[in-house]
Amino acid sequence: MTPQDLKQIGNIIDKKFDERLGKLEDKFDKKFEEQYKKLDKKFDERFDKFGKLIFGHIKEQFELHDEKLETKLFKWKSGVIDAVDALASEMKDSQNFREITTHQIVTNRERTDRLEKKVFGVVTSA
């Protein structure tokens, strides 16, 4: 065997090796692509399920907080309305008291004027 023959044999072996390596790379690439697609599909399905689950949970929490807020707001409004009602009632009572006392003062003044007129003969009050 000559060095030329060895070189030829080396070239043939390299060529066969490259061919087989290329076929293996192609098979590996196909297999990898199939696995990637399967994994991507599973990931998408799980992500969709997880997204729906999270969205549902968030929606429930918002509804719960919304109900709590409405309850607190209703209690606050009731408290304000009760306070305003009590204040209006107090103002009405005060107004009624002023009307009664004013009438009593006028009546007492008229009575005092009549008595002074009888006793002193002249009315001196203003």
pLDDT in tens, 29-84: 898 899 999 999 998 998 898 988 999 899 999 999 999 999 999 999 999 999 99
DSSP state of 5: H
Taking residue 118's Cβ as centre, other Cβ atoms within 10 Å add up to 8
Check: CB of residue 112 under 8 Å from CB of residue 125: yes
- Measured CA to CA, the distance from residue 113 to residue 108 in angstroms comes to 8
Structure pTM? 0.42
